[in-house]
Amino acid sequence: MTAADVLDIASPLTAAQFAAAVAEHERRAATLALHLRHLEASGEWAFDGSVSIAAWMREHCRMSNRAAHAWVRRGRLLDTYGAFAAAAVSGALSQSQVDALEHLHRPKYAEHLAEHQSALVEIVEQLSAADTETVCKRWRDDADAVIDEAAPPAEPERFLTASRDSEGALLLHSKQHGGAATEIEKALRNASTYEGDDDTRSHGERGADALFDIAAFYNKNHADDGTPRNLPHVSISVDESTIRAGRPVGVDGDTEEPMASSCTDTYLCDCKIHTILRDAHGAPVGFGRSRYSVPRKLFSQVAARDGGCRFPGCDRKIRHCDAHHMRYWRHGGSTDYVNLVLLCSRHHHFVHQHHLQMKLDDHSNLSVVWSDGRQRTSRPRGAPPRRSRE
């Protein structure tokens, strides 16, 4: 079925009709948001075992987590401020304007906003969405100036939300001020790398990779004195049968999200392994002692040779690295000195994702070969330089 089959092309909407249809859609959406708030307050949504109204919407309305929470926030805002609700339902305020006003819905401003909500609607109802955002910012600044000066200074607005899109990718949205903004910027600059002429990543991609490095480093080191052997930093459940079949299927123990085979392979290279015995119904009945896939002493030996990440062009230090089995651990690759090299978290995942072939020569130079035949090499930088013989 094509778009022509769905639409009555014989009578397409004019520009004015389309604008009117959008306005009507947004009026209905405002009314629906208020109904959602009433449903949330009634508790009816919990009868099927849902843990929250957003979870119920994900299940019964086929919404993403992000969309469900947006609906919940809008319903709560309109239910709290009657002037906003009346203006949204009548069409005096667009949905984008309501979204701008939502940023004022904070405990700090609740009393002040309730008093001035009608006046605020009168100011913004004829404005564009962008101008409404500007007015809301000025209103917030003015409110800060008149709120009880004797009260302790309020912390600046800050937030970080994380949600998964339809493809399973993690979406982050954050606002930070002051020291937090400074520390985060500094951490991103410190973690950002440039790998020379062969580095084709955009600025945004390098920033995303830097955030990956920061998270991986914290997860490895947060519970001890900074050594990189506090493992595991991610809990993964893997059925041994999938390892034997050649495609290990892992599930994140914290989020219950499935993990790609290449990602599971990466973690299996260098981790602590617990054997869990389960009954016929999948319930755990025994929990074995942990063992390292790469013992500490062996890791230190490899680190003394490699000096950091061995991916060509990468200068990440030992503390950012895992031990990688050049012949995969699940393929029977031995956990010994000649089959291990250090890779930083990003390049470790990259190597498994792209199935790169790696091999050390007799002088510990590493060859990295892509599937299309491209090859790059790196030299060990951990051993001290030898004095040349005269």
- Using DSSP's 3-state secondary structure scheme, residue 141 falls into helix
Average pLDDT over residues 196-208: 85
Are 98 and 229 found together in one domain?
A: no
Residue 271 lies in a domain: yes
Check: CB of residue 53 under 8 Å from CB of residue 44: no
* Residue 307, both tokens: 């000096």
Residue 324: closest CA among 305, 337, 307: 337
More confidently predicted of 232 and 198: 198
Average pLDDT over residues 139-153: 71
> What one-letter code names the amino acid at 390?
E
More confidently predicted of 143 and 246: 143
- The number of C-alpha atoms within 13 Å of 181 and in the hemisphere containing its C-beta is 9
What is the pLDDT of the chain when averaged over all its residues? 81
Residue 3 lies in a domain: no
Are 221 and 120 found together in one domain?
A: no
Domain that holds residue 38: 13-146
Check: CB of residue 30 under 8 Å from CB of residue 98: yes
Residue where one domain finishes, among candidates 128, 146, 164: 146
Q: Is the pLDDT of residue 229 over 70?
A: no
Are 349 and 230 found together in one domain?
A: yes
Residue where one domain finishes, among candidates 120, 146, 172: 146
Give 157-162's long-range contacts (Cβ < 8 A, gap of 24+). Answer: 157/103, 157/106, 161/66, 161/69
Are 207 and 132 found together in one domain?
A: no
Average pLDDT over residues 333-360: 88
User: Which residues neighbour 302 within 8 Å (Cβ) at sequence distance 6 or greater?
Assistant: 294, 323, 337, 340, 341, 342
Q: Which of 13-22, 89-98, 170-179, 236-245 bottoms out in mean pLDDT, i.e. has the lowest?
A: 236-245
Residue 108 lies in a domain: yes
Average pLDDT over residues 211-237: 67
pLDDT score of 154? 56
More confidently predicted of 168 and 20: 20
**Segment 161-196, tens digit of pLDDT:** 888 777 778 888 888 876 677 778 878 888 888 877
**Segment 43-63, tens digit of pLDDT:** 888 877 777 898 889 888 999
Residue 136: closest CA among 176, 107, 103: 103
pLDDT score of 78? 96
Are 312 and 232 found together in one domain?
A: yes
* Residue 349, both tokens: 């995942």
Residue 166 lies in a domain: no
Q: Is the pLDDT of residue 343 over 70?
A: yes
Are 228 and 373 found together in one domain?
A: yes
Residue 192 lies in a domain: no
Check: CB of residue 378 under 8 Å from CB of residue 388: no
Helix ranges (H only) for the chain are 3-6, 15-42, 53-60, 65-80, 82-90, 95-102, 110-124, 129-146, 178-191, 203-221, 240-244, 261-269, 296-306, 345-354
Residue where one domain finishes, among candidates 77, 112, 146: 146
Residue 333 lies in a domain: yes
Number of folded domains that form the chain? 2
pTM: 0.48
Residue 379: closest CA among 312, 300, 303: 312
Residue 156 lies in a domain: no
Are 70 and 219 found together in one domain?
A: no
Average pLDDT over residues 340-369: 89
Are 280 and 354 found together in one domain?
A: yes
Q: Is the pLDDT of residue 292 over 70?
A: no
The number of residues in the chain equals 390
pLDDT score of 255? 62
Are 243 and 127 found together in one domain?
A: no
Query: How far is the C-alpha of 249 from the C-alpha of 260, rounded, in Å?
Result: 7
Cβ count near 226 (within 10 Å): 10
Are 219 and 295 found together in one domain?
A: yes
Are 247 and 372 found together in one domain?
A: yes
Residue 187 lies in a domain: no
Are 98 and 219 found together in one domain?
A: no
